[in-house]
Structure 1
Amino acid sequence: MESELQTPEVQETTPSVEPAVAPVATSGSLVDSLRQSLADSLSFMGPTWEKAQAFFGEQRKTISSVVLISLAVVVLVLVFGMLGIINAIPFLPAVLEILGLWFAARYLVMADSRKAVVQEFSEFIGKITGQG
């Protein structure tokens, strides 16, 4: 009974690549051929993966720059899309402009109120970053 549950041993040509095939309760020759074909098809991955890691290690700064620039472009497109939507709503751009003018006249014209706004903003940033 134990001999029926045992899987046959497989000789692999590449010891570095171990195929992840679940044992099948069918004939031994089918399992052997599947494992051998999987090992043969994955044998090229070892050198290719090492070359890819070396390439990305050498080009880390360039790849990071390209990714960050791409993300910045995506963010700009989204922001301009949102602004386009806001501008399409009737009267909302005019209301926002009036609010901006009111804020500038109230808080940014006089030096004392400007210093107070800068101080509050600095305290707020300090709370967010954990420095204050």
Structure 2
Amino acid sequence: MSILLIWAIICMTLALTFYTIGVFAERKMGTLLKWHCAVFWLGFLCDSTGTTIMGQLSGNTFSFSLHGITGLIALLLMAFHAIWATVILIKRDDQAKKTFHKFSIVVWSVWLIPYIVGLFIGMF
């Protein structure tokens, strides 16, 4: 196993960890807080880094496969999610802070699809 692959796996696992903590802590607390937003950005950063490394390993070509398409959608959703969380906090929109968790769980669920597909691709 190459060192790049190990780093990619670490980055993707950190993305899963950060995102899961952020999404479920926000849901449990019932409101969006600054630290949730920071954790969303960390998850996005780790996912972007892991995706970049895996792209280098695969020859920097986009794959029109279930993994490639869902991975792109998930990465774009994560970016939008983190940006939207930031905007809500800057605007101090209390109503949006209380309902944001509904969108968070959808983004997290969509993100799990390419993560799980990637695990299966790596195993078989």
More helix by share: 2
More relative contact order, 1 or 2 (CA 8 Å, 6+ apart): 2
TM-score, normalised with respect to structure 2: 0.25
Q: Which one has the largest radius of gyration?
A: 1
TM-score, normalised with respect to structure 1: 0.24
